Amino acid sequence: MDQIEISPVTRIEGQLKVTIKLDEKGNVSKTMASTEEFRGFEKFLEGRLVSRVPIVATRICGVCPVPHHLACVKAIENGLGLTVPETAEKLRELMLMGEILGDHTLQVFVLSGPDYLLQDQPLEKRDIVALNKKLPNAVKDVIFIREVGQRVIETLGVQAVHPMTVTPGGITKRLSEQDRAKLLSEASEAKKKVLSLYDAAVAPLILDYVEENMELGNIDSSYMAMSHEGLINFYTGKISILDNRGRLSAEFEPSEYGDYIAEEGVQYTYTKGVRLQTKSKEDDLVRTGPLARVNVAKAAGGESADEILKALRKKFGSPINGTLQYNLARYVCLVYAAERLETLLSDESITKGEVRNEAKMKAGEGAGAVEAARGTLIHHYKWNDKGYVTFANIITPTETNSRGIEASVMSAATRNISKGDVNEKGLWNDVGLVVRAYDPCISCSTHLEKDLIVRVENSDGQVVSSIGGD
């Protein structure tokens, strides 16, 4: 036996294959995480009117369409020098908080959740059905919280999946006073339920499991996240890079990303790798997402989120470096989103004022960023004087995390494989745990590196034919 494949890794968004290579002594020599589906969004965005790109960009992902919608528009506004009315900025952030509320709830309690909440169940029975039997009230709360998040997106974006109202210069949909009051009532109830889940599930089960498995999947890395005035902020702010000791390595505007991070093609996957430009190749691994957000920010920015973050830092230190701590950091961000949602909806001015400035087309180039649920998302476009896109580049959180995922899988694999002896049950459990900690979004992460190459392999993994390439 020279390799082990786990395919697909379940309870993630999309299809991921993990390959563990063994050396001649039966020890782990290399780990690979492969996304085998191809989606060429960056290529077929070329030649489209830049004003239409925000509608297409939401189709990149049905799980996280709002961040793509917003990052795309912010890139165009950056290139055109457009300002956005204050009310429109608030409505955009409100839509994004609806996305984060629903997404983080799903990941913490339904996708990653069963690993922690159903430890007494066999791997094959860790699902929402078993979760509902064990924690029926918590599952009801989870469903309600997600419904509220989706309703916020639908109210502002016309449709919950692939919203269509954010446009260069603002937003085309106003929030009525009636909708504001209704959403505020629901958001306040959702916040209560989010906080109640701490004692019902997070503290007694997730936190305890993380403490007992502190070393699983751990790696050294830098962290990349947006923040504003020292606080977590998903919608606006500079991008910061922090080293694993908590020291600030860089801080930059989204349009400057090329000076600090670089992408590179990887032969066995359609997900590019991301490296820090500012460090040597031996010390350039960077991760993004909830763990990066709570490390980069000095505080969360919400009363309850701040309290929970302080408690986590007291227990695990600062920065928090453990891979399984991603899920605890994700809960902090969930609480932040619930609090921020309530704050935005409590502001009556959000229904008043201008919501759009006119965009005058000219040739340009711009980059924009937001914090998607899985981390920092960057869109970069160039377009000619007729408004047609000539270049598109998208750096997704899963792309940034791809090398970290592989390194964490290496840690999980070496824990369960030694000299040809494989702890199969432990391997499946631990690899799933560390992969799901990152909450990878496979559909977002796939890119085309120059030419598409199609390879045909036999049952032994040998390439018997290929199309494309040199």
pLDDT tens-digit profile of 17-31? 999 999 999 999 999
Using only C-alpha atoms, the chain has a radius of gyration, in whole angstroms, of 22
Tell me what pLDDT residue 450 has: 54
Tell me what pLDDT residue 288 has: 98
Q: Give the residue extent of every domain in the chain.
A: 85-217+322-358
Long-range contacts, stretch 422-425, CB < 8 angstroms, 24+ apart: 422/4, 425/123
Helix (H, G, I), strand (E, B) or coil at 429: helix
Tell me what pLDDT residue 111 has: 95
- The model's pTM: 0.95
Domain at 85-217+322-358: CATH architecture:
Orthogonal Bundle (1.10)
Helix (H, G, I), strand (E, B) or coil at 254: helix
Tell me what pLDDT residue 452 has: 61
- Going by C-beta distance under 8 Å and a sequence separation of 6 or more, which residues neighbour residue 115? 126, 209, 429, 432, 433, 436
Phi, psi (deg, nearest 5) at residue 237: 130, 175
- Going by C-beta distance under 8 Å and a sequence separation of 6 or more, which residues neighbour residue 132? 139
Tell me what pLDDT residue 181 has: 98
Q: Residue 144, Cβ neighbours under 10 Å: how many? A: 15
At 412, which amino acid appears? Answer: A
Tell me what pLDDT residue 467 has: 73
* 8 A C-beta contact, residue 438 and residue 401: yes
* 8 A C-beta contact, residue 133 and residue 139: no
Chain mean pLDDT for the chain: 94
> To 10 degrees, the CA torsion angle through 233, 237, 243, 246?
-60
Residues of the chain with pLDDT under 70: 280-282, 448-453, 461, 468-470
* 8 A C-beta contact, residue 73 and residue 54: yes
